[in-house]
Amino acid sequence: MSNVFKLIETDEFEEVVYGYDKKSGLKSIVAIHNTTLGPSFGGTRMMLYENEEAALQDCLKLSRAMTYKNAAAGINFGGGKAVIIADSKKDKNEALLRAYGRFVDGLAGRFIAGVDIGTDENDMVIVHQETNHVTALPKYYGGAGSTSGATAYGVYQGIKKASEIVFGSDNLANKTVSIQGAGNIGSRLAEYLSKEGVQIYITDIDEESLKKVKQKINVEIVNPEDIYDLDVDIFAPCALGGVLNDQTIPKLKCKLVAGSANNQLEDVKKHSQMLKDEGIVYGVDYILSAGGVINNSQQYNSYGYNKEAAYKKVASIGDNIKKVIKIAKNNDVTTYDAAKIFANERLRMSNNLNKWYLKKERGIKV
């Protein structure tokens, strides 16, 4: 395995922790990237990896993205992520999830666990038996429930606001959108867009998911390999990452890329520049997909979770992506670079705040 300290030094991670439990078979990694704004806040991804280094690399990449996502979203949480190396369909059980809960609890609140690929709100109920440092709990537990609805709503609001700049109006009627991924987020995004009169093309490797979408709304199903070649206004990647690369970008005919998938750019510098050169506006993934974390962060308000308040905050994603696109235009940079400028501004603000309580604890007069 690569030198772990070298990996975490490159992007200034605060902490990387490995958790193992022999009895349950738990093998987990938690990466805490930055806690400037508050405790690290991120999902729990359960999946098999090619090897342990691949799991670590994925965890680090996702954790770093969460720092910028949470900062740009305007919530008081830092960036973190967890991976459990296991097959979510075969290996998931109470013992494994409770062992993971004890692992998270041992981090003493520096990491708050949510859901990601391979985990859901029911899993978090089991994790919650061992720790209070968990979110995405069902509504009957006082939580916000599944993140997919809020994430889809945030992407939808982002598409509308970005369209004001790209197409001159947020009216999506008669626009064409291709959605890659018909899971919980992609299908709900399709529902929002359908109500606007959008012509929707959708694909997924899971035929059952496609059938469910087709039963609810009017969509045209296409083969996974054909999704990039479609002559559409907007491409919405809502599946796995790395889909914007040397092979796919030249095929795109859209004017706007705006979806929920994490780490859509295979190489962030190279491929964000490729999109810019092609005249395609990239709706930065961690800006648009922040609906889930915004929604779940409301669980920690003093008044508890309130859906109306949460979704009002989620809607601000639209304003955030407009600001990012304007920063990119004003500075002649990619939207990826503009998003970092936008997020870093809030991190700098927090760093510059006068931490009075720390001074008092140290006996320093204020």
Give the Å distances, CA to CA, from 42 to 28, 113, 190, 342. Answer: 14, 6, 25, 20
Q: What are the residues facing 62 on neighbouring strands? A: none
Separation CA 146–CA 54 (nearest Å) = 27
Q: Give the 3-state secondary structure of 198-267.
A: CEEEEECCCHHHHHHHHHHCCCEECCHHHHHHCCCCEEEECCCCCCECCCCHHHCCCCEEECCCCCCECC
Give the Å distances, CA to CA, from 239 to 140, 169, 187. Answer: 29, 27, 11
Q: Is residue 22 helix, strand or coil? A: coil
Task: Kindly give, in sequence order, each residue whose CB lies less than 8 Å from that of residue 77, ignoring residues fewer than 6 positions away.
Answer: 37, 38, 39, 40, 41, 70, 112, 293, 297
Check: CB of residue 222 under 8 Å from CB of residue 163. Answer: no
Write down the catalytic residue from 81, 160, 276, 340: 81
80: part of which helix (H) or strand (E)? strand 78-85
Give burial (CB, 10 Å; 0-12/13-18/19+) of 361: exposed
Q: Decide if 81 is catalytic.
A: yes
Q: What are the residues facing 31 on neighbouring strands? A: 16, 81
- Diameter of the chain measured on Cα atoms: 67
Q: Report, as residue numbers or ranges, the catalytic residues.
A: 81
